[in-house]
Amino acid sequence: MSNKPNGSVMERRHTETADIDRLATQDMLALINREDQVVTSATGACLPEIARLVDNASATLNRGGRVVIVGAGASGRAALQMIADFAPDAHPQLIGLMAGGAEAKRQDQEKAAANYALGIADLQAIRFGHQDMLVALSVSGKTPWMWGALRHAWSVGACIALLSHSRESEAAQMADILIAPETGAEVIAGFNEPKAHLAQQQILNMLASGLAIRTGRVYSNLRVDLKPDNTHWIERQIALVMAATQCNREQAKSALASSDNDCRTAILMQLTGLNNAKAQDLLVENHQSLRIALQEAKPHLVEA
């Protein structure tokens, strides 16, 4: 057996980091930081494709379909974290699936990731259909479990988006939307591909923010769909109403109390003078978009 690295490892070696183990700590970190900036530029080059991802995903949600984000290993954990950040109160139309499940032991997760049939079965278990959208996360594009999920989504005619490091994989040929930022070789070969996963995280952040905006969870640059689940979130609600309406703390608390502690309703009431019932009706009529509801409120105010 040869004691030389195989070809694929040689190809992944970064030509400018061969002496990184000889550098002073600050110089070493400066080199890593420079490569992280390469990642940001690479994801920026993919903005047209990311925009298609956000537009298709928001359209899927708005017509009643589900967006299912799937991945194995680190990609699966990123999928689940994105869902948790997007909707801490749970969102039935946004689903994250990880090979083996988040609670499984790592060895069981790795075993599941190698199971093509399980990828199909996991989508079948949630009755994934043509009205849904699959967002697959796979650095290599070769994980069998992810392949099974892709094949099932393709077989039912659903929209497929793939976030990958490889444009050449067979999985890329199945995607309606392919996002493959060219992040280059990793700083350290064989170290879990942190640059590729950083790019994946940046894209997921844009997807989460874009969906929050397009589904009416954001007004101006404020997240206005928070629920009063604990003292911390109650304080956040008060601060949001104050920021959105320029009112004082007591006015914000009063508006929230009059609106069943719903941020959007409280802001609409405070800005328009509408009562709780009329404000809620206006939000329902406009799919919970506070921006549109405020525009629609103007005729009501004139009539009053």
What pLDDT sits at residue 2? 36
Tell me if 3 is assigned to some domain: no
Q: What pLDDT digit, counting tens, does each position of 27-79 carry? A: 999 999 999 999 999 999 999 999 999 999 999 998 999 999 999 999 999 99
The DSSP line for 277-304 is HHHHHHHHHTTT-HHHHHHHHHHHHHH-
Cα dihedral value 97, 102, 107, 111, nearest 10: -20
CATH of the domain at 199: 3.40.50.10490
Our measurement of the distance from residue 23's CA atom to the centroid of its chain's CA atoms, rounded to an integer in Å, reads 36
If phi > 0 it is left, if psi is from -120 to 50 it is alpha, else beta; for residue 212 that is alpha
104 and 134 co-located in one domain: yes
* Distance (Å) of CA 207 to CA 64, 72, 78, 87, 241: 18, 19, 12, 13, 25
Mark whether 152 and 48 lie in a shared domain.
Answer: yes
- pLDDT tens sequence across 173-227: 899 999 999 999 899 987 778 899 999 999 999 999 999 999 889 999 999 998 8
Q: Is residue 113 part of a domain?
A: yes
Per the listing, tokens 């299912």 go with: 68
Supply the pLDDT for residue 190.
Answer: 79
Half-sphere exposure of 51 (CA within 13 A, CB side): 5
The band of 10, judged by pLDDT with boundaries at 50, 70 and 90, is very low
User: Looking at the structure, do residues 162 and 200 belong to the same domain, yes or no?
Assistant: yes
For the CA atoms of 253, 257, 258, 261, what is the dihedral angle to 10 degrees?
A: 100
Single out the residue in 215, 242, 267 at which a domain terminates.
Answer: 215
What radius of gyration, in Å, describes the C-alpha atoms of the chain? 23
**Which of these three, 215, 235, 265, is where a domain ends?**
215
Task: Print the domain residue range for 163.
Answer: 9-215
Q: Which residues of 186-221 are buried (b: 16+ CB within 10 A; e: fewer)?
A: bbbbeeebbbbbbbbbbbbebbbbbbbbbbbbbbee
Helix or strand holding residue 64 (H, E): none
Q: Is the pLDDT of residue 304 over 50?
A: no
Share of the chain above pLDDT 70, in %: 93
In angstroms, the CA 163 to CA 66 distance is: 18
Q: Work out the average pLDDT over 267-277.
A: 94
The β-bridge partners of 164 are 138
Are 227 and 209 within one domain? no
Q: Are residues 101 and 193 in the same domain?
A: yes
Last-in-domain residue among 183, 215, 247: 215
- The amino acid occupying position 239 is A
For residue 299, report the phi and psi dihedrals to the nearest 5 degrees. Answer: -60, -35
> Does the pLDDT at position 7 exceed 60?
no
pLDDT score at 74: 92
Asked whether residue 301 carries a pLDDT value surpassing 90, the answer given is no
Cα 20 to Cα 12: distance, rounded to the nearest angstrom: 15
Instruction: Specify the DSSP element, H or E, that contains 71.
Output: strand 67-71
State pLDDT tens for residues 235-259: 999 999 999 999 999 999 999 999 9
Same domain for 175 and 99: yes
Q: Edge-to-edge, what's the strand order for the sheet holding 133-138?
A: 94-98, 67-71, 133-138, 159-164, 177-179
Q: How far apart are CA 144 and CA 10, in angstroms?
A: 25
Residue 280's pLDDT band (cuts 50, 70, 90): very high
Q: Do 79 and 52 sit in the same domain of this protein?
A: yes
Which of the four pLDDT bands, split at 50, 70 and 90, describes residue 23? very high
> Are 159 and 56 spatial neighbours (Cβ–Cβ below 8 Å)?
yes
Model confidence over 142-170: pLDDT tens digits?
A: 899 999 999 999 999 999 999 998 887 78
Buried-state track 93-130, b at ≥16 Cβ within 10 A, e below 16: bbbbbbbbeeeeeeeebeebbebeebbbebbeeeebee
15 CB-contact burial (10 Å; exposed 0-12 / middle 13-18 / buried 19+): exposed
The total of structural domains in the chain comes to: 2
Give the model confidence (pLDDT) of 84-123 as tens digits.
Answer: 888 877 778 999 999 999 889 999 999 999 999 999 999 9
The answer to whether residues 121 and 257 belong to one domain is no
Contact 197, 139 (CB under 8 A): yes
